[in-house]
């Protein structure tokens, strides 16, 4: 079963992903940080790219609160169908896309890129494309938010890497979700992403991944990146 099939199955009979209408809390903290520090004028007609948008809760928040023009991409037909049904907005374009393929967008055209726990499932060659494309389409001075699975302190991740190895470095094949996921140590994340954008803030938080009626403790990196190219 491919990652795409597994995610579709997940949206049809949800055990893990949220179908909530509320925007993700750590993403909201990132937006507050941008606003508080006046890094960008969020009300100035910005363009946002939401990678792996799921049911569109974060895309909708940006369009609804800030009048942003938003591209919400996901490779699950079921997610896109739900985003269009529950979080439709004139300023949002939801599209069925794999974020490991080249982005059909102009260079320097996006103010904010969101990756809210979406790129974990990319393999190494897809991740190279995704990183190169994020750096290309983000405007100079633009920001990216990445919420991703952390390796440090996450016993569940370490057990899965040993028991269900995914074939590439620090990956496992999630036994229930049936998706191959990468987890990042802090130094590995910085080394990789700093080749494309500057990591300006990075913090680790504990969260809980619900699976059916069970809840698993997981660690996540919340990373704020800036495009410093001139
Ligand atoms: C954990 S969910 C998060 C959804 C959304 N970002 C949110 O915060 O509600 C991860 C999402 O990434 C999508 N995804 C995973 N790999 C992808 C890929 N290669 N291309 C596009 N979407 C992908 C999945 O279909 C799923 O909707």
Note the pLDDT tens digit of each residue in 24-80.
Answer: 999 999 999 999 999 999 999 999 999 999 999 999 999 999 999 999 999 999 999
Convert the pLDDT of each residue in 144-195 to its tens digit: 999 999 999 888 899 999 999 999 999 999 988 889 999 999 999 999 999 9
Query: Which pTM value belongs to this model?
Result: 0.95
Check pLDDT > 80 for residue 209.
Answer: no
**8 CA: nearest ligand 1 atom:** 25
* Atom number, ligand 1, closest to the C-alpha of residue 100: 19
Distance CA 14, CA 117 (A): 16
Could you tell me what percent of the chain has a pLDDT over 90? 81
- Residue 64 CB coordination number (10 Å): 15
Work out which ligand 1 atom sits closest to the CA atom of 97: 21
Is the pLDDT at 210 greater than 80? The verdict is no
CB 143 within 8 A of CB 34: yes
Residue 17 CA, ligand 1 centroid: distance in Å: 9
Q: Choose among 129, 74, 131, 138: nearest CA to 106.
A: 138
Minimal-distance CA residue to ligand 1 atom 27: 54
For ligand 1, is residue 207 a contact (CB within 6 Å)?
Answer: no
Q: Are 110 and 138 in contact (CB under 8 A)?
A: yes
């Amino acid at each position: 079963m491919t990652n795409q099939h597994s995610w579709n199955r997940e949206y049809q009979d949800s055990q893990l992903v949220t179908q909530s209408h509320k925007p993700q809390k750590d993403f909201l903290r990132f937006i507050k940080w941008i606003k508080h520090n006046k890094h960008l004028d969020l009300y100035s007609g910005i363009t946002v790219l939401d990678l792996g948008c799921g049911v569109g809760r974060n895309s909708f928040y940006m369009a609804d609160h800030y009048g942003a023009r938003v591209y919400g991409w996901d490779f699950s037909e079921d997610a896109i169908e739900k985003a269009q049904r529950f979080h439709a907005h004139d300023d949002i374009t939801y599209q069925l896309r794999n974020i490991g393929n080249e982005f059909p967008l102009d260079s320097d055209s996006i103010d904010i890129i969101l990756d809210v726990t979406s790129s974990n499932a990319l393999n190494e060659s897809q991740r190279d494309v995704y990183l190169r494309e994020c750096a290309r389409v983000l405007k100079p001075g633009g920001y990216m938010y990445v919420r991703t699975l952390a390796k440090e302190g996450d016993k569940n991740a370490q057990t899965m890497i040993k028991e269900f190895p995914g074939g590439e470095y620090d990956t496992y094949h999630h036994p229930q979700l049936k998706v191959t996921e990468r987890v990042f140590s802090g130094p590995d994340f910085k080394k990789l992403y700093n080749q494309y954008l500057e990591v300006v803030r990075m913090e680790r938080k504990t969260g809980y991944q619900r699976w059916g009626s069970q809840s698993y403790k997981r660690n996540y990196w919340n990373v704020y990146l800036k495009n410093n190219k001139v």
